Amino acid sequence: MTAQSVCAVVVTYHPSGSTLEKLSKILAQVHAMVVVDNGSNADEIGPIRTASQSLGYQLIENRENLGIAEALNQGVRWARSKGYSWVILFDQDSTITDGFIAHMFAAWESHRDRERVASIHPKYVDPETGNEPRVRRAKDGGPVVSITSGQLLPSWIFDKIGYFASEYFIDCVDFEYCFRIRAAGYLVADSRDAVLLHAAGHARRALRFLGFSFRPTHHSATRRYYMSRNRLVLYRKYFRRFPLWVLQSMYDSLRETTKCFIGEQERALKFRSFLLGTWDGLTGRMGKRNDLETFLNQGVVCDTRARKTS
């Protein structure tokens, strides 16, 4: 393997018909690719399985949803077992652009302290609006934290600080790893030339409230549970080390959550999910909560009965 041998790790979960095209674009720019599927049904995984044979990538099939963190760890371990020096991570909804990998490595090679760079991130562009999310930057010029999709990491970082936090299951996995990188004395960098088409959540048309225009992300009630729980755990873990960054992240999270409760559907259900996640975050209940759907559905039934009797 060369010093820049890179393996892509892609996590799928109920993939859509456009996923195969996105996988082909990624595979064209890397040395190898491993797809980790988190419990998709037979009809969904069938085309991915067939393409793994025709296109020549590794497929790991989980019988159930093990969460984004554990799926990433499975893919990274496979890549490292094959001797790849770098891994680049993607989710199934992101679209790679021309020259993406070359631009990412160019950012690393031109960095003034590249031996300390443990994570490189692209420029994220919403494919529908063309908007870019605001990036909070550290004094070293790199983003304080960034998302997982499009993240390029040298394999040695996993020996230094470990793998992704599987107990988070989903949400805040990316921010936690960035904080852990920085806490260990390494750097997070980014490339302004490598563009990844990526939309956060399922944003729809812009809404207006009290003169302000905003786009809610429309995450599901299940996601709202993990978001509220894991954010709280993350903030408690890193507040003493990075108080200013944590306060900034708390402010961003508050704004995003407020948009949800103002402009999204199923607000009562999502509020219940938010409260449960907050409680579990305070009490330290982590991992996948298998009874979450039952808990939320019970709430829906109770609310419906209350409306019928009122």
Q: What is the pLDDT of residues 210-221, one digit of tens each?
A: 455 546 566 688
| Choice between 98 and 130, residue whose per-residue pLDDT is larger | 98
> Which residue type occupies 40?
S
Residue 202 has pLDDT above 80, yes or no: no
| Choice between 216 and 94, residue whose per-residue pLDDT is larger | 94
Q: How many CB atoms lie within 10 A of CB 131?
A: 12
Residue 302 has pLDDT above 80, yes or no: no
- So where are the chain's domains? 6-197, 207-309
| Choice between 203 and 111, residue whose per-residue pLDDT is larger | 111
Q: What is the dihedral of CA 243, 249, 252, 253, to 10 degrees?
A: -110
Residue 164 has pLDDT above 80, yes or no: yes
Specify burial of residue 194 (Cβ count, 10 A radius: 0-12, 13-18, 19+): buried
CA gap 87, 36 in Å, rounded: 14
Instruction: Return the minimum-mean-pLDDT range out of 136-150, 183-197, 267-281.
Output: 267-281
pLDDT of residue 2: 44
Q: What is the share, in percent, of the chain residues with pLDDT greater than 90?
A: 72
Residue 253 has pLDDT above 90, yes or no: no
Q: How many CB atoms lie within 10 A of CB 79?
A: 26
Q: Name the CATH superfamily for 6-197.
A: Spore Coat Polysaccharide Biosynthesis Protein SpsA; Chain A (3.90.550.10)
Q: pLDDT tens digits, residue range 111-134?
A: 999 999 999 999 999 888 888 988
Q: What is the share, in percent, of the chain residues with pLDDT greater than 70?
A: 87
Residue 267 has pLDDT above 50, yes or no: yes
272-302 as b/e, with b when 16 or more CB fall inside 10 Å?
bbbebbeebbeeeebebbeebeeebeebeee
Across all residues in the chain, what is the average pLDDT? 88
188 φ/ψ angles, rounded to the nearest 5 degrees: -115, 130
User: Which tokens sit at 177?
Assistant: 């790893």
| Choice between 210 and 182, residue whose per-residue pLDDT is larger | 182
| Choice between 256 and 275, residue whose per-residue pLDDT is larger | 275
Q: How many CB atoms lie within 10 A of CB 28?
A: 12
